[in-house]
Amino acid sequence: MFLFNTAIWAPLCGDACIQRTGLHLFGAITLIGCATLILAGFVDLGISRALFRHDQRMTQTEFKREQKEEFGSPELRKGRKSFAHDLGDMPPQDLSSEAEPTFWLDSGTGSSGSTTAPA
């Protein structure tokens, strides 16, 4: 407030006083403007993030549909788990050259077996 009071009385004190007062006044206005813009930017960032999160939130049905697309239906997942559990319950295989594969790769269209031999 005192800065603006000095600006009013500046014409009475001469050229040096006018320049100094004008420079201080310009600096104060610039500082206030920058602070206002930075504060407005932070407020806008917070509002934008909140709105983006709200728009991107999935509903329960969208979440279930995505889970089905990514991992398959619950029935298929249950079947895969039981199949893997059954494979784990099998007795160990003989590792001779004529042994059945102990590791299977299944690509959906075909499967490939692999066995390891002791060194």
Domain residue spans of the chain? 2-56
Distance between CA atoms of residues 97 and 93, nearest Å? 11
| pTM listed for this prediction | 0.44
Residue 45, number of CB atoms within 10 A of its CB: 10
pLDDT per residue over 39-91, tens digit each? Answer: 999 999 999 999 999 999 989 999 888 888 888 788 888 888 888 777 766 66
Distance between CA atoms of residues 93 and 111, nearest Å? 19
Q: 103-106 and 111-114 as β-strands: parallel, antiparallel, unpaired?
A: antiparallel
DSSP 90: S
Mean pLDDT for 93-107 is 62
